[in-house]
Every structure is written in structure tokens, then in C-alpha cells.
A and B are shown apart, each in its own frame.
Chain A
Amino acid sequence: MRNVILLTIDTLRRDVLGCYGGGFTTFLDSIQNHCIQFNQAYSTAPYTQAAFTGILASSYYLEHGKQKMLSWEKVLISEVLEKAGFTTAGFHSNPYISTYLGWNRGWDIFYDSMEDEVNEKTPYIKAKEINRKVDTWLSSHVRAETYKPFFLWVHYMDLHEPYIPDREYIDIVDPTLQMTEEEMFRLFKEVLLKRDVSDRGIVGVLRKLYSAHVLEVDDALKDFFGILEKWNVLKESCVILTTDHGEEFGEHGGLSHDGKMYSELVHVPLIIYEPTREQREMCNVLVSTIDIPPTIVYLFGLRQVNHLQGHSLLPLSDYPVRGVFGEAMDKQGSHENGEEKEIHYYRERDFKIIYRERDDSWELYNLKVDPKEMNNIIEGSPQTEVMKQKVRPRVRRYQK
């Protein structure tokens, strides 16, 4: 394939997409015949900064210390590709993966929007505007005499709180929901930021507002694919679509995406669009977002790079059966005072184990019978010891 495009949508829950059993995403569902859909894909972490070390560096967040700055020892896929002579371009609007924190390494073009003015109700550059920038960039890139194959990364922020969607999208989700922008912003300040899940009705409203944003993003995706078609690059580009993490709506007592490792945050959508494919393929094997960089390397026909810890998702038949890990800081410190502590998970077959350094506690779930992770079976399960053994070497306190 000539080009590879990585499209990441911040804060995208898996279950809101039509192709994953949700019901709202007309455009995305319409291209499924060209896609491989991964049903058991896991993010390495529940928030942006930690998750992107998996997506872009095929590495885990705590691998080289706990500093906020992207560690020098982590190598971004953009650095690998730039050295191999490909054009690399990234367009996004998330401060946690900005130039300031070191994420501009290896990009020929890197737009992180930090210089642009934004307002508090929409504290990022919207997907439609990101698309316009990509359109402008492509208009110049494809006309060049020395048109080199490119790796393009685009990241949308539109699902991230505060949830203040346009009226037209709210009307599709629930026409009876009448709220002003001010009222929606107040919900962000007074309910979401306080992680207040005491009123189920209000949590339901937040969920509806979020769903309206999903529709908006689906429109942006349609617009994006239209741009690729307009410049005649879609037919020679593979598109990998995923997210950094999901979003919680009270499933485990919280809102937003704090340092927890439950499914609503780390079990994510992952789709590969191949223009030449004519039939949808489902993949039910357990995979991780650390597999994305090796997949990109594979798609460009390069030799695999040693430091990437994932495994290429393609060809599907070569993918090994293995478990998936995740690690992050629990981030309690970012909302309350106090030190941040490590949190880890490991999933293998139907079982998932979570370790919290804060209270040195373990949780084990059998996802087959308990997909919502409500029933902790750490006491007395024959799986407990085997699963603990997998996580222990990764927890720093055991690494002495």
C-alpha cells in the first residue's frame, strides 16, 4: 500500500459505533465492507498521554520512568518512517501529545494547534477544521513532483468533554432534550468535573450529549474520506481507525476517563480500512494498540523494527495468541491532592486482572460471564495465581 493513515478519535467508546452494536454512525457503518474489524482490541491505558505511547511508540507508559515528557528512549513511529524516507504529517489538538511534551519527533509536518485561540466551551480545534488543514496539506503534497508515500496521523478531539454538541445532532439523539449551551457547560462544571454520579437521570443526559458528539464525528469522518477521495489518495491508502481510550458514564462509580482499567475505558474499537477489500472481516483475537506501529511498518513493506513491542496485526493469520497488558498512573492526584500511584491490568482469554498500587489490591473478572466487571472473583478463583504472576513482574515494587 502506498500510504498509511492513522485516524484516532479521542475518548471514543466502542459501544457507540454502529458496527460494534451501537446505532448511530451511518458513515462509518457504510464502509464496513472494506474493513477488518477487531472485536477484542485493548488500549494500553485509560487516558491520552499514557495510551499514545502504545499507539505511536509501541511501548508502555511506565517503561522508562514516570515523567510527563515523552521519554527519549521511546521511539515514535514517525521517527522510524521519517528515517526510512517517507513523508510524515500529524494534525491534532490535544495538549498531552503536543510539541511541549516531546511528541513532535519525526514529523515533517506537525500541527498541534497549541498556538491557536480556543474558548472554554470548545477547548480544542474541531475535527472539521483539522480536516481542512489536511485538505490543504494534501493539495500541496499530491501535486508535488517528488510525491513520496506518506504516513498521515489525524486525531479528533470532538468527543472530549465538555459535551456541548450542535443542536442538529442533539435532535437526532433526543429531540425532547432542550438545553442551552450554558446549561450544558454547567453540567460539565458541576457534574462531570466533580465526578458526581448520584443522579442517574443527569448521567443519562451526559451520555446523550456525548452520543450527539459521536454523530458529529461520524460526519467529520465522512468529510475526511471525501477529502481523500478528492485528492485521489483513498484508493492507495490504508486507514487505521481507533481511539486512545473510552469514557465512563457511571459504570464503576465515575465519569470521564480517570485512571481505571475497566472495559468502558480500555476495550476499544479498532478498524482497518483497506480500499481493495470487498468483504468485511471480523477478528476476534485479543490484540492491543501497541500492535499499531508494527502494522504500519508492515503496510509500508519495511523490515520490522526491534524496539516495537507489539506484533503486526497483518497478515491476520500470522498474529499470535497472547494476552494484553495495560499500565498507567491512577491519576487521583490530578483531581484531588495526593500522589499518583500505578495501576495495571492484564487480560488473557476470558480473564482480566487489575492491580492497584494505591491500596495494593487485586481484582479478577471472568468477562465471559461478567462482561461489565461487577463481580470480583480474586478470592478463590483457580486463575488468581496464574494471572497475578503475569502482572507482578511489571509492577515496579516487585522489580527488585
Chain B
Amino acid sequence: MRIRRNRGAMGREISEKRKRQCAKLLEISKDIVGQAFDRFKNEELGITWTGGKDSSLTLWIIRQVCQEKGIPIPKTMIIDEGDEFEEIGEFVKRIKGSWNVPLEVCRNEDVLKAAHYTLNTSVKVKDLSERNQAELKRIGFDREEFPFEAESYVGNHLMKTVVFDEFLERNKIKGVFQGLRWDEHPTRFNDEYFEHREAAYLVPEHTRIRPILHLTEKDLWDTYAAFKIPYCRLYERGYRSLGAKTTSQISVQGVPAWEQDLENTEERAGRRQDKEKAMERMRKLGYM
């Protein structure tokens, strides 16, 4: 894995004017991070990181603030869904070392074990722990088995939501940083910088903190280039959005993410199979 340093990241020149614009956006982000440190003790804060572009930029911003304040980076979690890109693994390992990230790799071991660590293996619900069985009930899942996939309705809940909730619980975390952006997905438009979540069944009370909410995809890539921030090289190959390995697709082969038509195409299209499924249902119901 090669991290580009000391020359224009992505080989792109960013104008001074644009650089100032990006710096302004970053000031807002840093202010949010600063507010979070005022509100919570360092050990009550956590960071969610995936190695993707959004959470990596968030981590970089938090690190900047921590350096200015002379405090350590809060506990950072990364989820091992059992279906990762090697390139992300290498990138995470490299950054962890060079930025000194207190990283905790979190996984739902119980489910991975029941699936024999193999994708698409059928997992029997009765083989799972009491907690995981309760979690399945919580989402209304009522069958006896399911295929092990990281991004299905069930997989997403067990491999991500549950692991996230357990991370908060285990570390008594009250505020957690997330790399969400408004323009990434329309459904996030109503999200706020600080969102308080009350405790509910199996979910601890916590506040979600989203410092880069206001950045568009273009802002994000320009910021990466302007400040020479390292990123995972899969984005150079044409991936725009990275999820699990088997469900992520290259958006435009060979065209780096930042050179694609960011404003008129869907960022998560390469990750979303739901479109096709929904269209197929519409056809079957007699529409179109």
C-alpha cells in the first residue's frame, strides 16, 4: 500500500481560492469536534472508522483537533464484517501506525463462528447466543436460519448495529463520532451534527456526532487533495463508495472517484442492490 505524500494528492492542483473554501468547511468541522470535547470527557468519546473516505476524513479532523489540544485520539472502532477488501485492511493498518490510533477491531464473533467464517453459509438461529437471538427478535426476524451476508437486512443488523451498540456499552461511550454527510444519501438530510439517542431495549443512551455533515462529495475530495490527506487506493480504481467487498462495485472502471460525475450520478449506486430489487417488485405488481 502506497500513501501519497509530499506532492499534490491524486496528482491534482487545487486553486488557492478553492483551498480556502475547503479550509472554511474544515473550520466548521473542527468546531463541532471541539464542542464534543467540551461536552464529553475524552474517555467518554468514541470514533467509528471504516477505512472509507468519510470516516477517514473525520478521523483526520479529530486528530488535528487532538494535536492542537495536546490530547490523545479517542478510542476508535472498526467493524470486521468478515467480508473486507484487503486494500482497506492495509490502509487501516498503515494509518493506525502512523497516526497512533487507539484502534479496537470489533466483530460479532458469535455469528462469524456460526457461519464458519464463510460467506453465504446458512446460519441457524438456535446456534447463536442469547443476545444475538434477542437482536433478531428485535428486528422481527422470525425464521430458523439465514444466509451469512454482511449487508442484508439481518446481516447488517447483527454485524454492524449490534457490534456498534456493544462497543458503546463495553467502553461506556457517551458520544460517538460518525462520518456521515448530508449529500451522501437523501435519507440523511434531516440528520443533525449532534443527535441524542435515548436508551432503548439493547441500545445504550448516546449522542452521535457528525463533523463532516455539511461536506459534499466534491468538497470531500477537494479537501483530500488540498491538504494531502491519505486515502485508500481503491478510490483511484473507480470505486466511489466502499462497503463489504462482495457488494461494492466499481462505479466507473479506471476513473478515480473524484473525476467521476459527482453531481449527476448516485454515489452509493455501486453499493445498492435495492434499486434492482424494488424495480423487479414494481414490475411484478403490474407497473411499468
Question: Is B284 an interface position by the 8 A CB rule?
Answer: yes
List chain A residues, Cβ under 8 A from B286: 161-162, 188, 192-193, 256
Question: Is A101 an interface position by the 8 A CB rule?
Answer: yes
Q: Closest CB-CB distance, B161 to chain A, in whole Å?
A: 10
Q: Closest CB-CB distance, B42 to chain A, in whole Å?
A: 27
| B interface, CB within 8 angstroms of A | 134, 136-142, 152-153, 186-187, 189-190, 198-202, 272, 274-275, 277-279, 281-282, 284-288
A144:B201 contact, CB within 8 angstroms: yes
| Chain A residue at smallest Cβ distance from B201 | A144
The CA-CA distance from A161 to B279 in the complex, in Å, is: 16
A146:B201 contact, CB within 8 angstroms: yes
Chain A interface size, as a band, is: 35 or more
List chain B residues, Cβ under 8 A from A192: 286
Q: Closest CB-CB distance, A25 to chain B, in whole Å?
A: 24
The CA-CA distance from A315 to B135 in the complex, in Å, is: 38
Given known pairs A114-B277, A115-B152, A136-B140, the reply for A72 and B288 (CB within 8 Å) is: no
Q: Closest CB-CB distance, A243 to chain B, in whole Å?
A: 16
Q: Which among A117-125, A358-366, A388-396 touches the partner chain?
A: A117-125
Question: Is A148 an interface position by the 8 A CB rule?
Answer: yes
The CA-CA distance from A124 to B280 in the complex, in Å, is: 11
Choice from A134, A139, A148 contacting B200 with Cβ under 8 Å: A148
List chain B residues, Cβ under 8 A from A99: 187, 274
Question: Is A133 an interface position by the 8 A CB rule?
Answer: yes
| A interface, CB within 8 angstroms of B | 69-70, 72, 75, 79, 85, 87, 89, 91, 95-96, 98-102, 104-106, 108-109, 111, 114-115, 118, 120, 123-124, 132-137, 139-141, 144-148, 160-162, 188, 192-193, 256, 334
A139:B272 contact, CB within 8 angstroms: no
B200:A105 contact, CB within 8 angstroms: no
B138:A137 contact, CB within 8 angstroms: yes
List chain B residues, Cβ under 8 A from A104: 187
B142:A70 contact, CB within 8 angstroms: no
B142:A132 contact, CB within 8 angstroms: yes
Q: Closest CB-CB distance, A302 to chain B, in whole Å?
A: 15
Counting chain A CB atoms within 10 Å of each CB, the highest count among B140, B153, B201, B288 belongs to B140
Q: Closest CB-CB distance, B206 to chain A, in whole Å?
A: 13
List chain A residues, Cβ under 8 A from B190: 72, 75, 79, 105-106
A102:B281 contact, CB within 8 angstroms: no
B186:A72 contact, CB within 8 angstroms: yes
B198:A148 contact, CB within 8 angstroms: yes
List chain B residues, Cβ under 8 A from A100: 272, 274-275, 277-278
| Chain A residue at smallest Cβ distance from B142 | A136
A111:B140 contact, CB within 8 angstroms: yes
List chain A residues, Cβ under 8 A from B277: 95, 100, 114-115
Instruction: Show 18 residue pairs from A and B whose CB-CB distance is below 8 angstroms, ordered by the A residue.
Output: A79-B190, A96-B282, A100-B275, A101-B278, A106-B190, A108-B200, A109-B138, A109-B140, A114-B277, A118-B281, A120-B284, A123-B284, A123-B285, A133-B142, A140-B138, A144-B200, A144-B201, A148-B198
Given known pairs A105-B190, A140-B201, A147-B201, the reply for A111 and B139 (CB within 8 Å) is: yes
List chain A residues, Cβ under 8 A from B199: 146
- Having A100-B277, A115-B277, one finds 20 other A-B pairs with CB under 8 Å, namely A85-B198, A87-B200, A91-B140, A95-B278, A95-B279, A99-B187, A101-B278, A102-B187, A105-B190, A108-B200, A114-B274, A115-B153, A118-B281, A132-B142, A133-B142, A135-B142, A137-B138, A140-B134, A148-B198, A193-B286
| Chain B residue at smallest Cβ distance from A130 | B140
List chain A residues, Cβ under 8 A from B189: 72
The CA-CA distance from A139 to B136 in the complex, in Å, is: 11
The CA-CA distance from A338 to B156 in the complex, in Å, is: 40
Q: Closest CB-CB distance, B263 to chain A, in whole Å?
A: 15
| Chain A residue at smallest Cβ distance from B277 | A114
The CA-CA distance from A105 to B187 in the complex, in Å, is: 6
Choice from B134, B136, B138, B281 contacting A114 with Cβ under 8 Å: B281
The CA-CA distance from A160 to B286 in the complex, in Å, is: 10
Q: Closest CB-CB distance, A125 to chain B, in whole Å?
A: 10
Q: Closest CB-CB distance, B180 to chain A, in whole Å?
A: 13
List chain A residues, Cβ under 8 A from B137: 136-137, 139-140
Q: Closest CB-CB distance, B277 to chain A, in whole Å?
A: 5
List chain B residues, Cβ under 8 A from A105: 187, 190
Q: Closest CB-CB distance, A7 to chain B, in whole Å?
A: 16
The CA-CA distance from A78 to B140 in the complex, in Å, is: 18
Choice from A111, A124, A132, A147 contacting B153 with Cβ under 8 Å: A111
Q: Closest CB-CB distance, B185 to chain A, in whole Å?
A: 8
List chain B residues, Cβ under 8 A from A135: 142
Q: Closest CB-CB distance, B20 to chain A, in whole Å?
A: 28
The CA-CA distance from A192 to B138 in the complex, in Å, is: 39
Q: Closest CB-CB distance, A371 to chain B, in whole Å?
A: 28
Choice from B138, B198, B275 contacting A141 with Cβ under 8 Å: B138
List chain A residues, Cβ under 8 A from B278: 95, 98, 100-101, 114
